[in-house]
């Protein structure tokens, strides 16, 4: 075998790299130590540097030496190298530790060469295999995983990108780096190729009379991992093989609250000085699914805000499902299987992220039910098995309008597909709704150029902290109010616990710190409850989530959500004459609010309408309103001159629920308002069906009608006296703040007079 591999040896010197200790991969560690010394020395000597360390940089260099890297260099290399972030940061730690620009540039060039020659890309696997064979040994960067073959008592390894058959790996590597057995670890490895024995030259033996050794003609033995010509002769992890969690927690005492928060953001690649305090907390909230098991997070907002960055680039323990599509078997495992795919993605990853909720599709109609079961309890049934898993769920998507406009027409879970939309039981399992519209769009200034923890250190910290529970820290100072149900409490405690583990891993929290995180945790859960109230009404009417001081129970604080403003669908102020809000069931069956905008112009008593299309039932209900207006309208107010005007109507389906054929009384009132040039009462909703004969239908589903009207902002609602008995069954929470205005039964004229405040 040819042992010369000069080109490879010039580039790497892996055998001389010492074995990593508990602090992680030694190359990055030693290099970061050198970087710290270089920066500190240069700062003392006031020499010219390409990088000026700030106060936080200095603290990181002092307390996390060996675990940090310059993030601007990471961003620079990511532009041209499509490799995992932690691979880049390891190489940067090895080769870009110099404090001068020339040394950094030289290191970058070397890294580019390494990535070109040694990083294994799947489409170049055969070229790398050939190079190993031709050189005898060759150094590669790839992800190595292994399993124990208990029958042969060997560890069988394989690569993620290099397509060679499984081979035997020395047990010492598995003992030193246990992560090889737990999903694999990225490594720098020197691979050796051992050529198989040459085939016997039987023809030449016949010619020259050589003795031919006897050959075993028995059935050929099946080749196994021990027969592979490939073997690992040297290995150095790029990821941290071990993390001293206690040491890292111990370092928390040297940082203020804001410094530690800023350190986390810089470690994830963000520059905290470009963000407000609230925005910083939003970015940290994105990390909670990585550090808290069985946590369900939803973030909907504009495009380009970096929703998926944390789950794609920062943690190797999170999987991002692009497009949001998967199968039930892929997500939750195959039924009655004894293989590794028995538990699905939720059993193999710490976090499963659906990148675009609008694209979530399941062929299996039971998938949503399984997901609801898992999100509530962390377990689910597949066939005969009850399976437990710890993966958190993250749902991301886009909102294509301002949040104010969305709230006027629907709820904030609207981007979810029909299988989920309006399924209050599913959304009730969401622990936190992150307001993506409050997060700035990504721009160059938001990417930090300063020191942060190497990505793998941050992800390992989150991984190790998942085993700990900080939810009890709330109880030191506060108690929840009576609007909390059990799911609300679980959601808030999980959010609080995750944030506390990230920001206060040493549990050193005073009362202000606890209140700061508790306010934020409750806000996200209340945002969920507000949407549930819109969907299901009285079932989720208790939205005033808050807390009280444990030492002073009379001191109660209710947490609000910023987007719940006074700018509601039905305004408090006066409307234009002819404008009225009707309430009725859409033809799909859902109760909704509609704005009927009427206008009277000179003409011959004709009705023209827009927004109705060719919907015959809606045409019929508008015709019924207009015919009653022609015969009864003059009794509402004198001097209207109904016959000398034309009437123009714009039918506005505000909530996008589809048109309703139950708004004829509202249209009758609107026509009277336009003809009399008198507005209806402010904040008024008008339900009711007026037939062409002049009779009126009994109002059905009064509680649903009043709930929808109140959620839309109505303060008054016109009802016949016959509804008084039905009001006794309506929830007091709905009646509070929504005053009935009664009119005589079966009398549209009296209803119009009351609506126009003429009596």
DSSP characters for 250-281? HGGGGS-HHHHHHHHHHHTTB-GGGS-HHHHH
State how far the Cα of 601 lies from the Cα of 56, in Å rounded to an integer. 70
Q: Is the pLDDT of residue 55 over 50?
A: yes
User: Is residue 566 predicted with pLDDT exceeding 70?
Assistant: no
Say if residue 235 is in the same domain as residue 304. Answer: no
CB 717 within 8 A of CB 740: yes
Domain total in the chain: 3
Residue 22: its pLDDT value, please? Answer: 39
Burial environment of residue 634 by CB neighbours within 10 A (0 to 12, 13 to 18, 19 or more): middle
Neighbours of 619 (CB within 10 A): 14
pLDDT, tens only, 65-117: 878 888 888 888 887 777 888 788 878 877 776 556 777 888 888 888 888 88
Examine residue 499 and state whether it is found in any structural domain, yes or no: no
**Is the four-CA dihedral 458, 463, 466, 468 of positive or negative sign?**
negative
Q: Is residue 49's pLDDT more than 50? A: no
Pairing of strands 392-398, 296-301: parallel
Strand partners, 480: 547
Mean pLDDT of the 484-498 span = 97
Q: Where among 414, 449, 467 does a domain terminate? A: 467
679 and 603 fall within a common domain: yes
Look at residues 445, 467, 489 and tell me which one is the last residue of a structural domain: 467
CATH number, domain of 355, equals 3.40.50
Q: ∠ at Cα 393 (391, 396), nearest 5°?
A: 150
- pLDDT tens across 499-529, in order? 999 999 999 999 999 999 999 999 999 999 9
236 plus 280 within the same structural domain:
no
Where residue 507 falls (left for φ over 0; alpha for ψ -120 to 50; beta otherwise) is left
Residue 51 has a pLDDT of 60
Which tens digit of pLDDT belongs to each residue from 686-700?
Answer: 999 999 999 999 999
Is residue 444 a contact partner of residue 469, using CB atoms and an 8 Å limit? no
Q: At what angle do helices 85-95 and 26-45 cross, to 10 degrees?
A: 50
Same domain, 236 and 384: no
Same domain for 277 and 383: yes
Round the average pLDDT of the chain to a whole number and report it: 85
For the chain, what's the residue count?
759
Say how far apart CA 480 and CA 474 lie, in whole Å.
9
pLDDT at 422: 74
Element (H, E) at 139: strand 137-149
- Which of 209-213, 226-230, 338-342, 565-569 has maximum average pLDDT? 226-230
Domain presence at residue 732: yes
The answer to whether 383 and 335 are in contact (CB under 8 A) is: yes
In the predicted structure, residue 137 carries a pLDDT above the cut 70: yes
φ/ψ (deg, to 5) at 642 = -60, -40
pLDDT in tens, 162-216: 999 999 999 999 988 887 887 788 888 999 998 875 444 555 555 555 555 555 5
Give the CATH number of the domain where residue 650 resides. Answer: 3.30.230.10
Asked if the structure places residue 503 within a domain, the reply is: no
Q: What is the pLDDT of residue 213?
A: 55
Q: Looking up tokens 């003059």, which residue turns up? A: 634
**Distance between CA atoms of 184 and 142, rounded to whole angstroms?**
10
pLDDT at 423: 85
Q: Tell whether 522 is covered by a domain.
A: no
Q: Measured between alpha carbons, how far is 255 from 67 in angstroms, rounded to an integer?
A: 16
- Same domain for 238 and 275? no
pLDDT band, residue 555 (cuts 50/70/90): confident
Residue 304 and residue 238 share a domain: no
The most distant pair of C-alpha atoms in the chain lies apart, rounded to whole Å, by 131
Q: Which tens digits make up the pLDDT trace of 631-640?
A: 999 999 988 8
- The larger pLDDT score, comparing residue 6 to residue 742, is at 742
Same-domain pairing of 392 and 287: yes
Return phi, psi of residue 740, to 5°.
Answer: -70, 140
- Answer whether 157's CB lies under 8 Å from 189's CB: no
Q: With respect to residue 207, please indicate whether it lies within any of the assigned structural domains.
A: no
Q: Of 440, 467, 494, which residue sits at a domain end?
A: 467
751 inside domain: yes
Q: How far from 720 is each of 417, 570, 698, CA to CA, in Å?
A: 39, 21, 9
Structural domain boundaries enclosing 297: 246-250+270-467
Domain assignment of residue 238, yes or no? yes
3-state secondary structure of 71: helix
d(CA 291, CA 268): 14
Statement to judge: residues 325 and 456 lie in one domain: yes
Kindly state the percentage of the chain with pLDDT values over 70.
87
Q: What is the 3-state secondary structure (H, E, C) of 468-529?
A: CCCHHHHHHCEEECCCCCHHHHHHHHHHHHHHHHHHCCCCCCCHHHHHHHHHHHHHHHHHHH
Q: Are residues 632 and 585 in the same domain?
A: yes
34: in domain = no
Cα atoms in the Cβ-side hemisphere of radius 13 Å centred on 75: 20
Per-residue pLDDT of 714-742, as tens digits, reads 999 999 999 999 999 888 878 888 999 99
Where do runs of H (alpha helix) occur along 182-327? 202-208, 245-250, 257-267, 277-285, 288-291, 309
Q: Are 184 and 277 in a shared domain? A: no
Number of H helices, E strands in the chain: 28, 24
Say yes or no: 175 and 288 in one domain: no
Count the Cβ atoms, other than its own, within 10 Å of residue 198: 6
């Amino acid at each position: 075998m040819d042992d010369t591999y000069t080109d490879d040896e010039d580039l790497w010197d892996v055998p001389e790299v010492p074995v990593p200790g508990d602090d992680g991969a030694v190359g990055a560690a030693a290099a970061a130590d050198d970087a710290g010394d270089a920066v500190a020395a240069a700062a003392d000597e006031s020499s010219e540097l390409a990088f000026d360390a700030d106060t936080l940089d200095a603290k990181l260099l002092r307390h996390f030496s060996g675990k940090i890297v310059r993030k601007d260099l990471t961003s620079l290399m990511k532009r041209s190298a499509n490799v995992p972030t932690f691979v880049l940061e390891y190489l940067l730690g090895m080769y870009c530790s110099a404090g001068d620009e020339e040394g950094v540039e030289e290191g970058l060039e070397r890294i580019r060469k390494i990535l070109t020659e040694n990083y294994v890309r799947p489409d170049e696997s055969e070229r790398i295999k050939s190079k190993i064979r031709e050189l005898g040994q060759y150094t590669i960067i790839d992800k190595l995983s292994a399993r124990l073959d208990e029958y042969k008592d060997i560890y069988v390894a394989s690569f993620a990108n290099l397509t060679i058959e499984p081979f035997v790996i020395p047990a010492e590597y598995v003992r030193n780096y246990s992560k090889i057995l737990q999903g694999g670890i990225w490594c720098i490895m020197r691979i050796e190729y051992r050529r198989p024995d040459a085939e016997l030259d039987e023809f030449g033996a016949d010619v020259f009379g050589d003795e031919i050794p006897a050959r075993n003609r028995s059935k050929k033995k099946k080749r196994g991992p021990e027969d592979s010509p490939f073997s690992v002769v040297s290995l150095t992890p790029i990821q941290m093989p071990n993390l001293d969690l206690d040491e890292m927690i111990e370092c928390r005492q040297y940082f203020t609250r804001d410094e530690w928060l800023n350190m986390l953001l810089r470690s994830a690649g963000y520059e905290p000085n470009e963000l407000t305090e609230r925005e910083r907390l939003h970015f940290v909230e994105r990390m909670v699914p990585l550090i808290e098991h069985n946590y369900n997070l939803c973030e909907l907002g504009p495009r380009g805000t970096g929703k998926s960055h944390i789950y794609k680039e920062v943690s190797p323990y999170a999987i991002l499902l692009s497009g949001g599509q998967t199968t039930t078997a892929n997500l939750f495992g195959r039924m009655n299987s004894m293989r590794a795919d028995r538990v699905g993605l939720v059993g193999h990853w710490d976090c499963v992220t659906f990148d675009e909720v609008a694209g979530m599709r399941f062929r299996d109609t039971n998938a949503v039910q399984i997901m609801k079961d898992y999100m509530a309890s962390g377990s689910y049934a597949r066939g005969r098995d009850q399976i437990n898993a710890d993966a958190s769920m993250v749902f991301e998507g886009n909102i294509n309008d301002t949040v104010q406009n969305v709230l006027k027409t629907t709820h904030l879970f609207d981007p979810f597909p029909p299988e989920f939309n309006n399924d209050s039981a599913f959304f009730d399992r969401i622990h936190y709704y992150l307001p993506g519209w409050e997060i700035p769009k990504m721009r160059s200034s938001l990417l930090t150029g300063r020191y942060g923890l190497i990505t793998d250190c941050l992800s390992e910290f989150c991984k190790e902290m998942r085993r700990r529970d900080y939810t009890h820290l709330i109880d030191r100072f506060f108690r929840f109010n009576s609007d909390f149900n059990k799911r609300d409490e679980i959601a808030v405690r999980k959010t609080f616990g995750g944030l506390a583990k990230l920001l206060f891993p040493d549990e050193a929290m005073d009362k202000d710190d606890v209140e700061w995180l508790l306010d934020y945790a409750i806000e996200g859960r209340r945002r969920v409850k507000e949407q549930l109230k819109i969907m299901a009404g009285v079932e989720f009417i208790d939205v005033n989530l808050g807390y009280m001081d444990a030492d002073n129970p009379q001191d109660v604080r209710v947490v609000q959500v910023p987007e719940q403003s006074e700018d509601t669908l039905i305004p408090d102020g006066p409307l234009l004459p002819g404008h009225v809000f009707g309430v009725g069931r859409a033809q799909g069956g859902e109760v909704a609010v509609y704005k009927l905008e009427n206008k009277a112009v000179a003409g011959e008593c004709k009705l023209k309408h827009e927004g109705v299309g060719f919907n015959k039932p809606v045409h019929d209900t508008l015709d019924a309103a207009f015919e009653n207006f022609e015969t009864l309208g003059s009794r509402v107010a004198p001097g209207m001159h109904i016959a000398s005007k034309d009437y123009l109507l714009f039918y506005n389906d505000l909530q996008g629920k589809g048109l309703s054929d139950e708004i004829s009384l509202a249209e009758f009132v609107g026509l009277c308002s336009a003809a009399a040039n008198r507005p209806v009462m402010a904040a008024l909703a008008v339900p009711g069906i007026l037939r062409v004969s002049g009779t009126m239908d009994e109002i059905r589903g009064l509680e649903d009608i009043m709930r929808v009207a109140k959620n839309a902002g109505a303060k008054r609602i016109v009802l016949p006296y016959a509804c008084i008995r039905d009001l006794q069954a309506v929830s007091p929470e709905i009646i509070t703040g929504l005053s009935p205005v009664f009119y005589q039964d079966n009398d549209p004229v009296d209803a119009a007079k009351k609506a126009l405040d003429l009596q």
